[in-house]
Amino acid sequence: MLDLLFPAVAFASEGAAEGAAEGGLAATLGSVYPNPAVIWPTWVAFLILFFLLWKFAFPAILSMLDARAERIRESLEKAEETKVEAERMLEEYKKQLAEARGEAAKVIEQGRKVAETMKDEIIAKANEEAAQIIAKAHEALEAEKRAVVAELQGEVAQLSVAVASKLIGEKLSAEDHAKLIEQYVAEVGGLNDN
């Protein structure tokens, strides 16, 4: 039963019995015998692989890993820089935009003011012109009126003289006529002035 549980022991003890006959350490130790037929080929295999990895494989792979890590680090740094730069530019553009908006508002305000003053000026000028025209028209009217009145006075005087002459003949001298007329005109003119 012990043989069942510990096959290595079983084999070893089995081997021990034979080992006495064959006299080999290999047979005595069984599975736990460090067999030289395995030891030295393992050393050779190890040394070959070690040389290959040490001289060729690992330098190439490790330098690739380092180069890639360096590249990734650089890229991340660059990305960070770019981000900061972009944020700075965005901030600048926002400021510029705000400035431009302010500028535009100012320009519009100014324009409005200019237009306003121009409008006022134009209206004032128009008013003035209109007043002038009206004044001129008044003057012309007044002059016309005066002329008409003067003419009328002349005609009335002549008519009166003619009528009076006819009525009273030639009794009144020219001087008397004139006096009479002026008196009359003054009366009439006085009426007319009102």
Partner 1 sequence: MANAANPMELLPEKITELVHELSVLPYDNMHHEGPVTGPFVLTNYVVWGLIALATVMVLMIVVSSREKKQMALAAQSGDVRALAPANRLVSVIEAGVEFIRDMAVDVIGQKDGPKYVPLLGTFFFLILTSNIFGLIPGGKSIGGAVGGTVALALIAWLVFVWVGFTKNGFIGYFKSLIPSGVRAMPLAARIGLGGYIFLLEFVSTFFIRPLTLAVRLFANLYAGHIILGVFSAFVVIFMQRITAGGLAVGAVSLLFLIIMYAFELFVAFIQAYVFTILTAVYIQSSVHASEH
Applying CB under 8 A, among 16, 20, 49, 150 the residue interacting with partner 1 is: 49
Which of these ranges, 19-27, 77-85, 120-128, 151-159, lies near partner 1 under the rule CB under 8 A? 19-27
Q: Is 52 in the site for partner 1 (CB under 8 A)?
A: yes
Residue 84 is a binding residue for partner 1 (CB under 8 A): no
Name the residue nearer to partner 1 (CB basis): 41 or 189.
41
CA R_g for the chain:
69
- Cβ closer to partner 1: 36 or 169? 36
Write out the two tokens for 16: 């021990």
Return the ∠ at Cα 140 (arms to 137 and 142), rounded to 5°. 105
Q: Which are the contacts of 153, defined by CB distance < 8 A and separation ≥ 6?
A: 185, 188, 189
Task: Report yes or no: 27 and 19 within 8 Å, Cβ to Cβ.
Answer: yes
Rule CB under 8 A: which residues touch partner 1?
3-4, 7-8, 10-11, 15, 18, 22, 24, 26-27, 30-43, 45-46, 48-50, 52-54, 56-65, 67-68, 71, 75
